[in-house]
Amino acid sequence: MQDEFAFISNISPKQTKQPSLIYGIGDDAAVYRGSNETDEVVCVDTMVEGVHFRRDTLTPFQIGKKGLAINVSDLAAMGATPLYYLVSIAVPSSWTEEELSTIYKGMSELADFYNMDLIGGDTVSTDGPLVLTVTVIGRVKKGEAKYRNQAKAGDLLFVTGYVGKSAAGLALLLERGLDGEFSLAEQDLIKEHQEPIPHVAHGQILVNSLYRGALNDVSDGVASEANELAEASNISIVIEGNKLPIHEAMRHYDREKQLEWALFGGEDFVLIGTVAKEKADQVRKEFEEQGLMFEVIGYVEQGQPNVYLSNNDQVLKLEKQGYNHFQKRG
C-alpha cells in the first residue's frame, strides 16, 4: 500500500488556493485560519477491520474509543484543543446493531472527556470488512500550532510517556486472546494497546508556553517518528537508548525485546518532540506541575536528516522500521 497522502504530499502551502490555508499538508493534520485569534486543525483517519484492528484483540467499544483516540492524538501533536468529530462507518451485515451502537459508545466515552461533540457522519452498508473513518476538528491559538519541522541543532528530544507498552500489550493479546488471563502488570500493557489516552494536555502546555520546538505523536513508533522529525527539520537526531522510558510492566522482558517494542512497536499515543536545551528544565517543570511525564531521550545535531541510536557504546543508524547495523555513524 502506498503511503498516506501519496497523491498529495507534493503540495506545498504556497501552492494552495485558499489564502486562509496555512500549513500541515503532509503532516497528519491540516491547519487553516478560522478567525483573527484562532486556527482550525482538522485530521482524518481510517481503520479497516482485519488491517488496522482485529476483533480478537479489541472489543467493539474499544474499536470506537481507539478510533477516535488515534485522531485526537493527531490534534494533540499540533497542540490543538479537540472540539468536534464526524464518524463514517461502512458496516457489513455480520455486525449487529448493538455492536455498532457500542462502537459509538466507545467514541462517546473518550469524547466526553474532552467535551467533544459528534456533529455528523454517514452509516452505510458494505459487503466487505468494517471501515471506520473518523474526522476530528480542533482549534489552536493563531500561529501556534506545532509542526514536525521546528527542530533545531542544540534541541533536546523528549517523549511524554512510556514507549513500547502498546506493542507489548498487543503481543500478549495475540498470544492469549481477549478472554485470556493476565496479571495486573500485563493488564496495564493491554489497556495501553486497547484504550490509549491521547496526550492533549501535553501538547497544550507547549502551545500555551509559546516554546519553539518540533512535535509529533508516536503512532508509528519512536524510530519512525524521530526520522520524520529529522527529515522535516533537516537535522540529525541521536536517541540515547538508556534514556527511553520503559514501564515497569515491561521490565521482565529481555532488553532486546524492550528496545524493539519501544523503537518500532508504534501505537503509543504519547508525544515526541524537541525543545531548546536551555528551555528544557522550565518545560519539565510545567509538565510536572500538571503531574505529566517529560523524559529527555536524546538530542538534535546539525547533519544529514538521520536518526542514530546510542546504546551501550554502540551507535546504530535507526531506520523507520529497523536498525542498520552496517552503516555506522560518522
Q: What is the contact surface with a copy of itself in residues (CB under 8 A)?
A: 1-8, 11, 16-18, 20-21, 24-25, 28-30, 32, 34-36, 38, 40, 42-48, 50-52, 83-84, 86, 88-92, 97, 100-101, 104, 112, 115-129, 131, 133, 135, 137
Look up residue 127 and give its DSSP letter: S
Which C-beta is closer to a copy of itself: that of 52 or that of 202? Answer: 52
Backbone angles phi, psi at 205, to 5 degrees: -60, -45
**35 in a known ligand binding site:** no
Which residues does 161 contact at the CB level (< 8 Å), separation at least 6? Answer: 199, 245, 268, 270, 271, 293
Which C-beta is closer to a copy of itself: that of 44 or that of 201? Answer: 44
**319 in a known ligand binding site:** no
**45 in a known ligand binding site:** yes
**Residue 35 CB, nearest approach to a copy of itself (Å):** 3
**254 in a known ligand binding site:** no
Sign of CA dihedral 284, 308, 71, 104: negative
Backbone angles phi, psi at 132, to 5 degrees: -115, 115
Residue with cell 551507535: 315
**Residue 229 CB, nearest approach to a copy of itself (Å):** 19
Please report, for residues 16, 20, 21, 73, 137, the alpha-carbon distance to residue 34 in angstroms, rounded to integers and kept in the order given. 16, 8, 9, 21, 12
Which C-beta is closer to a copy of itself: that of 35 or that of 324? Answer: 35
**Residue 257 CB, nearest approach to a copy of itself (Å):** 28
Which C-beta is closer to a copy of itself: that of 27 or that of 260? Answer: 27
**114 in a known ligand binding site:** no
Distance CA 272, CA 48 (A): 26
Distance CA 288, CA 273 (A): 17
Cell output for 278: 536551555
**Residue 290 CB, nearest approach to a copy of itself (Å):** 22
**179 in a known ligand binding site:** no
Binding site, annotated residues for substrate: 52, 267, 323
Binding site, annotated residues: 28, 45, 52, 74, 104, 121-122, 148, 217, 219-220, 267, 323
